[in-house]
Amino acid sequence: MTLQINAAFDGGNIHVVEQDGNRIYLEIIKDNQSDFFQWFYFKVTGAKDQALELVVTNASDSAYPAGWPDYQARVSEDRQDWQMTETDYRDGMLTIRYTPRSNIAYFAYFAPYSMERHHDLIARMAGKSGVGYEMLGKSLDGQSMDCLTMGEGRRSIWLIARQHPGETMAEWWMEGALERLTDENDSVARLLRQKARFHIMPNMNPDGSCRGHLRTNACGANLNREWAEPTAERSPEVLAVRNHMDKTGVDFVMDVHGDEAIPHVFLAGFEGIPDLDKAQDKLFRRYRNKLAKYTPDFQRHYGYENDEPGQANLALATNQLAYRYKAVSMTLEMPFKDHDDMPDLKKGWSPERSKQLGRDCLAILAEMIDQLPISGKDLA
pLDDT tens digits for the chain (380 residues)? Answer: 899 999 999 999 999 999 999 999 999 999 999 999 999 999 999 999 999 999 999 999 999 999 999 999 999 999 999 999 999 999 999 999 999 999 999 999 999 999 999 999 999 999 999 999 999 999 999 999 999 999 999 999 999 999 999 999 999 999 999 999 999 999 999 999 999 999 999 999 999 999 999 999 999 999 999 999 999 999 999 999 999 999 999 999 999 999 999 999 999 999 999 999 999 999 999 999 999 999 999 999 999 999 999 999 999 999 999 999 999 999 999 999 999 999 999 999 999 999 999 999 999 999 999 999 998 554 33
What b/e readout covers 350-363, taking b as 16+ CB neighbours within 10 angstroms?
Answer: bbebbbbbbbbbbb
Do 45 and 164 have their domain in common? Answer: no
Do 367 and 255 have their domain in common? Answer: yes
Nearest 5°: phi and psi at 73? -65, 155
Instruction: Identify the pLDDT of residue 281.
Output: 98
Do 237 and 352 have their domain in common? Answer: yes
Do 279 and 315 have their domain in common? Answer: yes
Instruction: Answer yes or no: is 379 within a domain.
Output: no
- Spatial distance between the Cα atoms of 227 and 239, rounded to a whole number of angstroms: 8
Give the Cα-Cα-Cα angle 336, 342, 344 (nearest 5 degrees): 65
What is the number of structural domains in the chain?
2
Do 223 and 263 have their domain in common? Answer: yes
Do 154 and 11 have their domain in common? Answer: no
Instruction: Answer yes or no: is 153 within a domain.
Output: yes
Instruction: Answer yes or no: is 59 within a domain.
Output: yes
Instruction: Answer yes or no: is 81 within a domain.
Output: yes
pTM: 0.97
Among residues 108, 131, 155, the one where a domain terminates is 108
Give the Cα-Cα-Cα angle 250, 208, 348 (nearest 5 degrees): 85
Instruction: Identify the pLDDT of residue 375.
Output: 81
The residues that bridge with 41 in the sheet, in sequence order, are 13, 108
Nearest 5°: phi and psi at 55? -110, 115
Q: How many helices (H) and strands (E) does the chain have?
A: 8, 17
Contact 196, 153 (CB under 8 A): yes
Strand, helix or coil for residue 147 = strand
Instruction: Answer yes or no: is 380 within a domain.
Output: no
Among residues 108, 135, 157, the one where a domain terminates is 108
CATH assignment at residue 48:
2.60.40.3120
Instruction: Answer yes or no: is 376 within a domain.
Output: no
CATH assignment at residue 330:
3.40.630.10
Contact 48, 149 (CB under 8 A): no
Contact 330, 304 (CB under 8 A): no
Say how many residues make up the chain.
380
Instruction: Answer yes or no: is 242 within a domain.
Output: yes
> Which residue type does 300 have?
R
Do 88 and 137 have their domain in common? Answer: no
Among residues 93, 108, 123, the one where a domain terminates is 108
Do 122 and 98 have their domain in common? Answer: no
Do 283 and 172 have their domain in common? Answer: yes
- Domain membership of residue 88 as a residue range: 4-108
Instruction: Answer yes or no: is 378 within a domain.
Output: no
> Crossing angle of helices 351-368/278-294, nearest 10°?
130
Do 86 and 142 have their domain in common? Answer: no
Do 361 and 279 have their domain in common? Answer: yes
- Spatial distance between the Cα atoms of 96 and 98, rounded to a whole number of angstroms: 7
With CA atoms as reference, report the closest residue to 27 among 7, 11, 51, 10: 7
Residues designated as active site: 333
Do 219 and 282 have their domain in common? Answer: yes
